[in-house]
Amino acid sequence: MNFEVEQKHFVEDSTALLRRLASRGVTLGPVIAQADQYFNHPCRDFAQTDEALRIRTEDCTSFVTYKGPKLDATTKTRRELELPLASGHAEFAELLTALGFKRVTTVRKSRRPFELVHLGQTVHGAWDEVDGLGTFVELELSADEAGVNEAKHVIASLAEELQLGPSERRSYLELLLAIRK
């Protein structure tokens, strides 16, 4: 089983953070337009169980992703399954709907990936401009079960060095739904 150790931060001052990243030699990658279509379960409420099921479309490719409940308070460590879709997102959305899954909403963002070596590990970062929410930075490491604690330590240490402030545990989906309430 693979775990995604992930921490996300709202960016109040883009200019200052871009400067700190640049001083560590980081350049942001090209913009990827992502549309994430979220679904709720036919008989359990993913908002309550802290799970997520989405179809992500970037350019011409689509993936289905399942995220299990978060396992601890600071980082967003959780079980994650991601499968490429050979069929396209519309067909898979039709299958989910036939099985009773309900469309919740679509989160759209421009993502610019970056990489950064910290404490000997290559951390994957994302500079996200999310429609309706603003700018966020995500830091992520993949780890197997034995490597989760070390990965959490690396991410937390990097966040502190970059002065990212408090982490945001809620997903973009949760933030968007909270605003709309």
* Residues at the contact surface with a second copy, assessed by CB under 8 A: 41-44, 53, 64, 66, 68, 79, 81, 83-87, 91-92, 94-95, 98-100
Query: Distance between CA 54 and CA 103 in Å, rounded?
Result: 9
Q: Which is nearer to a second copy, 7 or 77 (CB)?
A: 77
Q: How far is CA 119 from the centre of its chain?
A: 22
Residue keyed to tokens 């169980």:
49
In the annotation, is 66 catalytic?
no
Q: Which is nearer to a second copy, 68 or 165 (CB)?
A: 68
Q: Which is nearer to a second copy, 88 or 132 (CB)?
A: 88
Query: Distance between CA 107 and CA 28 in Å, rounded?
Result: 21
Question: Per residue, what are the HEC states of 112-178?
Answer: EEEEEEECCEEEEEEEEEECCCEEEEEEEEEECHHHHHHHHHHHHHHHHHCCCCCCCCCCHHHHHHH
Residue 83: CB minimum distance to a second copy, A: 4
Residue 95: CB minimum distance to a second copy, A: 5
Residue 86: CB minimum distance to a second copy, A: 4
Which candidate in 3, 38, 92, 127 is catalytic? 38
Residue 67: CB minimum distance to a second copy, A: 10
Q: Which is nearer to a second copy, 89 or 108 (CB)?
A: 89
Which sequence positions are flagged as catalytic?
Answer: 38
